[in-house]
Amino acid sequence: MKKQELGTVISNIQAAKNLHFIKIRIPEIAPLLRPGNFISILPPAQSGAFLRRPFSVADVSGDTITLVIKAIGKATAAITGLAAGDRAEIMGPLGHGYPEFDRNKKIWLIGGGTGIASLLFLESGRKGCQDRLLWGGRTKDEIPEACNIPCRCFISTDDGTAGEKGTSIDVAKKWLKTERPDIIVSCGPRGLLKAVKQLSAETSIPAWISTEEFMACGMGACAGCAVPLEKGGYAKACADGPVFKAEEVIL
């Protein structure tokens, strides 16, 4: 059940270039959130933006959520400029999240950019599992120096300035030479999701992806986030997703 709440910023830490980890207290919405859900934030008035911006949730601790936000425009720059004590109008929970994966299954989580957020939330509930999390970026400037998460965390960068050199898919293919996961879960840019879908098809490893479509309303009213389906027709990323089986969608 969606709720609208005025949240209070608890902290705002710049973890990498233009990348912020923001904690916001929203006692009504926080307990309702599940991995893969997202929330929407009304940008501060000074941004000049009137549409809410969607963000995946990276963590829930009590009545407080953590978001991973990159400043890429006026609206997101205004949101990443919020300081402790500032208020923000938030709506959530939105979307359908990840299924409850068997804890005995080995999952590889592959994230690109801020797409890492929903994977962090998913992995936080799988302590003790034999999962791997791969955080990919173009350069070291896009990735925090440390991954403080409960699973094995690996870094890759296109230019090799941090972690292994190559794309996330390049690294995953190297791993496949010596081991194999039961499931792949990914969130990030369309190019990454398309590559994960192809890898899933080539290896017969089931894959779940969380799409990052542009959303105007975030509630299924405008159909601006339509995702084409393999069976024909479309699904709305905000209402039917954003999580889908990779084999179900056309990327």
Q: 52-106 pLDDT, tens per residue?
A: 899 999 999 999 999 999 998 899 999 999 999 999 999 999 999 999 999 999 9
| Whole-angstrom distance, CA of residue 229 vs CA of residue 235 | 7
**CATH number of 3-94: 2.60.40.10, 2.40.30.10, 3.30.420.40, 3.40.640.10?**
2.40.30.10
Average confidence (pLDDT) over 233-248: 93
pLDDT surpassing 80 at residue 228: yes
Q: 214 to each of 3, 96, 208, how far by Cα in Å?
A: 21, 16, 19
What pLDDT shows up at residue 146? Answer: 56
pLDDT surpassing 60 at residue 148: no
Q: 61 to each of 27, 66, 94, 149, 181, how far by Cα in Å?
A: 10, 8, 18, 14, 29
Residue type present at position 197 = K
What pLDDT shows up at residue 118? Answer: 94
- Which element (helix H / strand E) includes 27? none
Q: Does domain 107-210 have CATH number 3.40.1440.60?
A: no
pTM of the model: 0.92
The pairing of strands 64-70 and 3-16 is unpaired
Which DSSP state fits 249? B
Q: Domain limits of the chain?
A: 3-94, 107-210
Higher pLDDT, 26 or 164: 26
Planar angle of CA 90, 209, 73, nearest 5 degrees: 45
What pLDDT shows up at residue 213? Answer: 76
Q: Confidence class of residue 211 from pLDDT cuts 50, 70 and 90?
A: very high
Instruction: For the chain, give the mean pLDDT.
Output: 91
Strand order in the sheet with 183-187: 164-165, 152-157, 132-137, 107-112, 183-187, 207-210, 243-245
Q: Confidence class of residue 147 from pLDDT cuts 50, 70 and 90?
A: low
Burial of 65 (0-12, 13-18, 19+ CB in 10 A): buried
- Which element (helix H / strand E) includes 4? strand 3-16
pLDDT surpassing 80 at residue 216: no
